[in-house]
Amino acid sequence: QSTVYLGFDPQLQREVAIKTWHFNMQDPAQNAVLLAEARAVGKLRHPNIVPIFDAGEEAGKLYLVFEYVPGQTLASFLEQSGALTPVKAVFILRPVLDAIAQAHARGIIHRDLKPSNILLDENGTPRVMDFGISAQVNAPDDTGDVYSGTPAYMAPEYIVRRECTERADIFAAGLILFEMLAGRRAAEGDNLFQILHRLAN
């Protein structure tokens, strides 16, 4: 769905992360919705959220410019470390929950909270990134049968009824906590249907 590049801002002399989206068809209305969400996310100020510096369109394609944060994702960290101690897991999750709580207070749902969307910077501080498919709280979901997010971290009510509220992020955070403590995903399966079935039931 997207590609992320390491870029350089010549005006402010800093490295940045540039994310571009790849859709099957160019859709100005879809771009307008995503840009509106980017503006909302861009207003978030929290030490555990990777900020958006800029957003726009180039040749009909949407791009976002983020702060570049050296480090690794929580997913990569867990691949190397395996299961974590409860103290370490809570140390990582608590700032993530603080960041998500602030987003919820501003009416923003992440909708794709997962270990690969949590960066651990060079000091080990967790930073939530990629609010790219976030949605305004209580905004209508017109996606029909199309899922937004990562199946292994979806909430049951979203799988069954496409209901997306702040609770979906909290559920995803619980799945992340399980994964940190157990060293494996809570819902595993050989295919998409098995994963969704286990989460929904």
Which one from 27, 54, 112, 190 is the annotated catalytic residue? 112
Name the nearest CA neighbour of 4 among 68, 89, 96.
68
**Is pLDDT larger for residue 32 or for residue 183?**
183
CB 152 within 8 A of CB 141: no
pLDDT at 31 over 90: no
Range scoring the smallest mean pLDDT among 5-14, 71-80, 92-101, 135-144? 135-144
Residue range 71-89: average pLDDT? Answer: 97
Verify whether residue 141 is a known catalytic residue: no
Q: What percent of the chain has pLDDT over 70?
A: 90
Q: Would the pLDDT of 133 be above 80?
A: no
Residue among 1, 45, 39 at smallest CA distance from 20 = 1
Q: Model pTM?
A: 0.87
**The pLDDT value given to residue 100:** 96
At residue 146, the pLDDT reads 65
Distance CA 111, CA 165 (A): 9
Q: Between vectors from CA 41 to CA 43 and to CA 34, what angle results, nearest 5°?
A: 130
Whether residue 184 is predicted with pLDDT greater than 70 in this model: the reply is: yes
